[in-house]
Structure 1
């Protein structure tokens, strides 16, 4: 038998981080619900403060918990089997993210494929469509809401196209960084990873500009602009949140590399961050096609 078959499996001691995370998530959920209620009722409640406190507690939990994991890894407590467990965990996490976006893409495709034609009279539904929305025109994007409010569709040219080029390029540079790590070329690794981070931050900057343009008096594309505004901001907004998380992961990897962490044979944390970055790139390509172009 090989040596790996006799490797011990490290079991951490009892940790307080899971309960801290559970309390933080409860504070976020409860605080967000009360914050929305306060906004609706124009009241000065405690929801916003509770939400911010929950977010701060989540950040504290993540920093503390991952610090423990890094220390355990650097002190040689993890075996090949533990590495396999981490890979499974990251794979399932990315799969859950795929299902998360699949729900929003499903809502978009349902609205475009079924709801819009149905309101326009498809399937011998002329009478119902005429009653619900007499002036409705079955075309996408829907630029007019039932109350008569009009908006403007966001085109694919300009900022969206620039962001697509940025993310696709960042996926290439992230791959080059991974190859440099596997070949133990530390200067190239730092350079390629630094470029990847800069491209990701540039994407977020241009998305902020895009949202500012959407909310301008010229476009009047708001989150409340009917099903089109809803799906546009929900899909692109959640994707932007994931890009932010991916940038944070890459920045953490960059500082760990500066401290001398990772070797060509042991670098799953970097690989996991790379997987996640490629995932958000693929999601953006789908967004660019189904939200902006089609």
Structure 2
């Protein structure tokens, strides 16, 4: 974070009471009620979801605006900086566990549940009594083909292109970080802006991929265990790329306003950490969802 002056190192800045946590809880609750109702085809679910989403956007805009103003005023010292770093580390760790759960579901379905349904190990009786014709081949829509017939997306088309885009974006955000530490303002804005554009390009191609899957391949969330794991993993990753791109864009505007210098720029570092995390998760997705 930037500092207008150096506050007392022995004083830990504690902001005044804030309305944002309370409003954020209401917005999050409204959003989840809306999306749950929408998925269950309740008529009012969709509008409630968008109302909750708008509330969350407003809360984040206001809350982070307060944090930025506190930072620019110089309210944060080294102790606060350490707290920010620890908070970001734990946040990314929670995200690692989040994706680990979905990768674990993919592993369980593919390596354990599917062979059992096919008659291996403890699944001999299940196969012979319930699904004697089931072939344990991946990808699968499940016994009795409850998910219908579908086609998969080839790994060496758009997924490979998106992999190259994200890997390139990891390099450009690193170049921007070096430019910031070196005091090269124009290079900083160029490389960071290029990272934002690459994030948008990734999302564009993922949208193209989803449209192709739904309209031409019959690959949907309802396409059995493969369809559900595919869209849960790639969809949540796409959501994280969206959030990361928005955060990078905000940091670009902050760099344009001169909020950071070579010694005080943790907000930039935090977003860069998050972006590298998104890159690593995508490599796992590309390997285990598309290639293998």
TM-score bucket (shorter structure): over 0.9
Deviation of 1:6 (Å): 4.3
**Aligned counterpart, 1:11:** 14
Equivalent pair of 2:102/2:233 in contact (CA under 8 Å): yes
Deviation of 1:125 (Å): 3.1
**Aligned counterpart, 1:26:** 29
**Aligned counterpart, 1:163:** 162
Aligned length: 286
Deviation of 1:216 (Å): 2.1
Task: Note the alpha carbon deviations across 1:244-268, whole angstroms, 9 max, x for none.
Answer: 0000000000011111110000000
Deviation of 1:189 (Å): 0.4
Distance in 2, Cα, partners of 1:51 & 1:4: 42
Relative contact order, CA 8 A, sep 6+: which one is greater? 2
**Aligned counterpart, 1:186:** 185
Q: Output the TM-score relative to the length of structure 2.
A: 0.94
Deviation of 1:47 (Å): 2.2
**Aligned counterpart, 1:215:** 214
- Structure 2 unaligned blocks of 5 or more: 1-5
Task: Note the alpha carbon deviations across 1:124-175, whole angstroms, 9 max, x for none.
Answer: 5333113222221111111565246211122211100000000001001110
Distance in 1, Cα, partners of 2:106 & 2:122: 23
Superposed, 1:234-253 pairs within 5 Å as 234-253=232-251
Task: Note the alpha carbon deviations across 1:72-122, whole angstroms, 9 max, x for none.
Answer: 000111000000000011111111111110000000000111001111111
Task: Provide the alpha-carbon RMSD of the alignment.
Answer: 1.6
Other structure's SS at 1:134 match: coil
259-268 vs 144-153, greater mean Cα deviation: 144-153
Distance in 2, Cα, partners of 1:280 & 1:6: 34
Distance in 2, Cα, partners of 1:173 & 1:162: 16
Other structure's SS at 2:234 match: helix
Q: Output the TM-score relative to the length of structure 1.
A: 0.93
13-22 vs 118-127, greater mean Cα deviation: 118-127
Distance in 1, Cα, partners of 2:144 & 2:258: 59
- Structure 1 unaligned blocks of 5 or more: none
Superposition misfits of 4+ residues, deviation over 6 angstroms = none
Other structure's SS at 1:10 match: coil
**Aligned counterpart, 1:138:** 136
